[in-house]
Amino acid sequence: MLVIRRRQGEALLLGPDIELSVLEITPSRVTIGVSAPREIVVLRREVAETREANKAASRLPNQGVLGEWAARLRNPRQHFPSDPPPPAR
Amino acid sequence: MPEPSIHYEFPQGLPAFERETNFRLLEPPAIHPLALLESLSTPGLRFVCIAIHWLVPSYRFELSDDEKSNLQGDQDLKCLALVTFPENGSPTANLRAPVLLNPVTRRGLQSIQTDSSYDLFHPLHPDPPKGPSCS
């Protein structure tokens, strides 16, 4: 990763069109200004991760899989057919 | 007989599903402790969820003032994690972005925890039991 030190009021350029400015620095957070063309999507990383996680979560397994996992949660020590076999002795 | 359910309004939708502002929570006994958060506007759109305390009894989260006002209160919230079932591999629960429901005001939202050490992909099930078990 490229690491660059900047002070409050200084900026970085990413390519010809995108500028990141350090607007304010406090002990716990940094306020960053982003100037970019409209078509550039700017997201907080955790928002982007949540979007992807939600899309994945919207793909449901069949009812049998749901039922089996529910049973696993209710009976954590029970053995299920889809578990890997116990190691041979 | 239809399953009893409570309707919730999500004024902001869910990230990636911003237009989905109305859900109901289904809790069929057959899949307890799992539950289903079902869209009231898009047929077939459902999320599997689980009460987070089932997985992490000590779970804590923080709400911004905006989130508190969206929920119209922050007392006695239901705190759920959305569960992903990957095609290969074991299911995981998103503890980084809990879904919070206010049963009194019937408002809900997904709160992305910025300073959280909780996992986006928390295993639904601990490692398989090792060693002999007592009955």
**pLDDT over 60 (residue A7):** yes
Count of structural domains, chain B:
1
**Domain annotation covers residue B42:** yes
C-alpha distances in Å from residue A70, one per residue of A36, B58, B97: 47, 21, 21
Put simply, the answer to whether A70 touches B34 (Cβ < 8 Å) is: yes
**Domain annotation covers residue B129:** no
**Domain annotation covers residue B108:** yes
Put simply, the answer to whether A70 touches B33 (Cβ < 8 Å) is: yes
pLDDT of residue B87: 87
Question: For position B68, which CATH number holds?
Answer: 2.30.290.10
Residue B114, domain extent = 5-123
pLDDT of residue A33: 97
Cis, bond preceding B33 (omega within 30 deg of 0): yes
What's the sign of the alpha-carbon dihedral A54, B45, B61, B125? negative
Chain B residues whose CB is inside 8 A of the A60 CB are: 46-48, 85
**pLDDT over 70 (residue A84):** no
Average pLDDT, integer, range A56-61: 95
Put simply, the answer to whether A69 touches B86 (Cβ < 8 Å) is: no
pLDDT of residue A12: 96
Give a three-class secondary structure readout of B18-71. Answer: CCCCEEEEECCHHHCCEEEEEECCCCCCEEEEEEHHHHCCCCCCCCCHHHHHHH
Average pLDDT, integer, range B89-114: 95
C-alpha distances in Å from residue A83, one per residue of A19, B51, B114: 52, 24, 35
**Domain annotation covers residue B111:** yes
**How far is it, in rounded angstroms, from Cα A13 to Cα A19?**
5
The 10s digit of each residue's pLDDT in B5-20 is 789 999 999 999 999 9
Q: Label residue B96 exposed, middle or buried (CB < 10 Å: 0-12, 13-18, 19+).
A: buried
pLDDT of residue B133: 61
Average pLDDT, integer, range B21-45: 95
DSSP-based three-state secondary structure for A70 = helix
The 10s digit of each residue's pLDDT in B48-57 is 999 999 999 9
Chain A residues whose CB is inside 8 A of the B31 CB are: 66-67, 70
pLDDT of residue B73: 86
**pLDDT over 60 (residue A89):** no
- Could you tell me if B34 and B50 are in contact, meaning their C-beta atoms sit under 8 angstroms apart? yes
**pLDDT over 90 (residue B94):** yes
Judge whether B117 is closer than 8 Å to chain A, CB to CB.
Answer: no
- Distance from the Cα of B31 to chain A's closest Cα (Å) equals 5
Chain A residues whose CB is inside 8 A of the B16 CB are: 50-52, 54-55
pLDDT of residue B114: 84
Supply the mean pLDDT for chain A.
Answer: 89
**pLDDT over 70 (residue B29):** yes
Average pLDDT, integer, range A30-52: 94
Strands in A1-89 per DSSP E: 11-14, 18-25, 30-35
**Domain annotation covers residue B23:** yes
**pLDDT over 60 (residue B1):** no
pLDDT of residue B115: 75
Q: Which helix (H) or strand (E) holds B123?
A: strand B122-123
Chain B residues whose CB is inside 8 A of the A67 CB are: 30-31
**pLDDT over 60 (residue B135):** no
pLDDT of residue B128: 53
